[in-house]
Structure 1
Amino acid sequence: MADEVLEKAGLLAAYDDQLRTDSEAIGASARVRVGPLHLLEFPGERGFVTYRDLGEGSDEELRARLVEWVPRVLEHFRERGVRHLEWKTRGHDRAPGLHDLLLAHGFEPAAQESVMVGEARLLALDLALPDGVTLRRVHEEADVRAACRMLDEAFGDPVSERTAEALLLRLASGDGTELWVAEADGAMVCAGRLEPVPDSDFAGLWGGATLPPWRGRGIYRALTAARAHSALALGRTLLHSDSTEFSRPILERAGLVRVTTTTPYDITL
């Protein structure tokens, strides 16, 4: 048990040190600081709030700062013409009163996800696929749009071109982002991204989902293994993922550790 606690603490420290603020600002068109908060703008009139921590002080002092910061953040993004704003929180942060404060200002919490972190080699396995299912990395526009439509369906979201447009921009930028898909009978049934984090040991597993009729057959696990192999080839020894309850057990069985939780709070301005 002591070794497990130490392992989790070390992985959480790596997550905090390497994956917050600067790495989250990759691709941002603008960046402003309000105290410890990093206010980021991205294409598509999207805003994002993150931080490494909220600083020292008593709970009362931190609460008083947040009472000041939240309206300043909203005012800043409204003045900048941002329409869709996300405030990203983590379960292990000390942020007294933040939940109630965000709700009072019109934010709505999305579903809580598990932050999974671990060694890429644990997932880089050679796994068999079901008969008729194949994996490949895609980058052509038609494939990217088809994958994003499939992912919207898998997540139960309305089909939108916005995700595809943003992903096409990232793939064209040469930042290392990869999109992997699994296909059966010529149709995409599972997809997910690999996003190497510059100047870090990490690559992120993002956007992974499988259509309901194809779940439980090992396809997502094989797609994750392919991405883990690619991460190692890129020199990234650690993987991280904000996981739903569909993907968390798969990553956990492979050896990744649930180091904390994350809850995004969203608002339309």
Structure 2
Amino acid sequence: MNRDPELVRLELDNQIAGGRAFVAAGPEISARYGTAFDTVAGLATPTCAAWDYPLFNRVIGAGVLRPLDERGIDAVVRHFTAKGRAPCVEVYPGITSPELLSALGRAGFTDSGHGFESHVLETDRAIDLALPGIAVRNVAPAERTHFGELVRDGFDMSGDGVLGPFFVDLTVASLTHLGGDGAAFIASADGEDAGSGQLVLTTRVAGCYSGSVLEKFRGRGIQKALIAARVGEGLARGRRVFISQTDPDSASGHNLHDLGFRPLYRATWFTRPA
């Protein structure tokens, strides 16, 4: 696993930009879903009242982007308690210092057993991939709601009365917020829209997010086509570093590796009771 410190920092900066656009695109979104993207102890800290999933309720980059000491941990606990959420600090095995792990343990934090794997590709060449019947197009502003619906359905959230609208509304708002620093793509199979992928651009980096495929189209290489399209767009915009996050040891991660990505690091969420 490549743990190049500069790549890790660049990747986290891209995550922060994408996360801020997603959960804090504007006051209407924040009021509707109770989202915020605050700075606590100098570290980016998203929270979300609508969904308690740690990805939307965590401290990002502790010990990597900025130190986190005992006073900072106390501030984190107070912040999450005020938000009605379990305090959560993201930890990076093999990167996070033993001193920080010990401080978190003394404060009552334990490994939740959940997290994600980050992947990176450094390249100046497009991915040559052609699949019969599969096409990918760039999403125009008029299609953003449709794109958000594909993201929702690809993540199997259409039946959830709260998270279904959440996925659509925040996806649309994030694209508006990002403007020229973002892009979205829809993949079709034999003329029928089948999958989604979003791009977030920061210094040197193109981040690949919201990669999902509708259930009936899975297994046809659509996710790979969306990855290739985003790499091509990033190259056209001057980026040479591409990142993405997946569940550990997942099919999505394998698709990335098949196209040349490699593991960058794993993250795990340390939490304590609210």
**TM-score between the two structures when normalised by the length of structure 1:** 0.72
Paired residue for 1:168, among 159, 172, 176? Answer: 172
Cα pair 1:192 1:208 within 8 Å, conserved: yes
Alignment partner, residue 10 of structure 2 = 18
SS in 2 for 1:127: coil
Shift of 1:144: 2.5
- Take 1:129 and 1:118, find their aligned partners in 2: how far apart are those partners? 21
Shift of 1:266: 6.8
Paired residue for 2:207, among 186, 194, 204? Answer: 204
Gaps of 5+ in 2: 25-35, 51-55
For residues 197-233 of structure 1, what are the alpha-carbon distances to aligned partners after superposition, in whole Å with 9 as ceiling and x for unaligned? 1xx2111111212234433322111111110010011
Alignment partner, residue 91 of structure 2 = 89
- Take 1:175 and 1:96, find their aligned partners in 2: how far apart are those partners? 39
- Take 2:205 and 2:268, find their aligned partners in 1: how far apart are those partners? 21
After superposition, the Cα gap between the structure-2 partners of 1:72 and 1:220, relative to the gap in structure 1 and judged at 3 Å, is same
SS in 1 for 2:188: strand
SS in 1 for 2:245: strand
- Take 1:101 and 1:160, find their aligned partners in 2: how far apart are those partners? 38
Alignment partner, residue 63 of structure 2 = 53
Matched, 1:216 2:219: yes
Alignment partner, residue 31 of structure 2 = none
Within 5 Å, which residues of 2 pair with 1:136-155? Answer: 136-138=137-139, 139=141, 140-153=143-156
Alignment partner, residue 261 of structure 2 = 256
After superposition, the Cα gap between the structure-2 partners of 1:88 and 1:126, relative to the gap in structure 1 and judged at 3 Å, is same
Cα pair 1:182 1:223 within 8 Å, conserved: yes
Shift of 1:69: 4.0
- Take 2:199 and 2:261, find their aligned partners in 1: how far apart are those partners? 16
- Report the AA paired with residue 164 of structure 1: V
Identity within the alignment, %: 21
Q: In angstroms, what is the RMSD of aligned CA positions?
A: 3.8
Paired residue for 1:192, among 194, 197, 209? Answer: 197
Larger deviation, residues 156-165 vs 218-227: 156-165
- Take 1:231 and 1:129, find their aligned partners in 2: how far apart are those partners? 21
**TM-score between the two structures when normalised by the length of structure 2:** 0.71
Shift of 1:129: 2.3
Alignment partner, residue 134 of structure 1 = 135
After superposition, the Cα gap between the structure-2 partners of 1:30 and 1:16, relative to the gap in structure 1 and judged at 3 Å, is same
After superposition, the Cα gap between the structure-2 partners of 1:135 and 1:265, relative to the gap in structure 1 and judged at 3 Å, is farther
Larger deviation, residues 220-229 vs 244-253: 244-253
Matched, 1:32 2:44: no
After superposition, the Cα gap between the structure-2 partners of 1:185 and 1:84, relative to the gap in structure 1 and judged at 3 Å, is farther
Shift of 1:157: 8.7
SS in 2 for 1:258: strand
Q: How many residues are treated as equivalent by the alignment? A: 244
Within 5 Å, which residues of 2 pair with 1:44-123? Answer: 47-51=57-61, 53=63, 65-66=69-70, 69-79=72-82, 81=83, 87-92=89-94, 93-94=96-97, 95-97=100-102, 104=108, 108-110=112-114, 112-121=115-124
After superposition, the Cα gap between the structure-2 partners of 1:224 and 1:84, relative to the gap in structure 1 and judged at 3 Å, is farther
After superposition, the Cα gap between the structure-2 partners of 1:265 and 1:105, relative to the gap in structure 1 and judged at 3 Å, is closer
Gaps of 5+ in 1: none
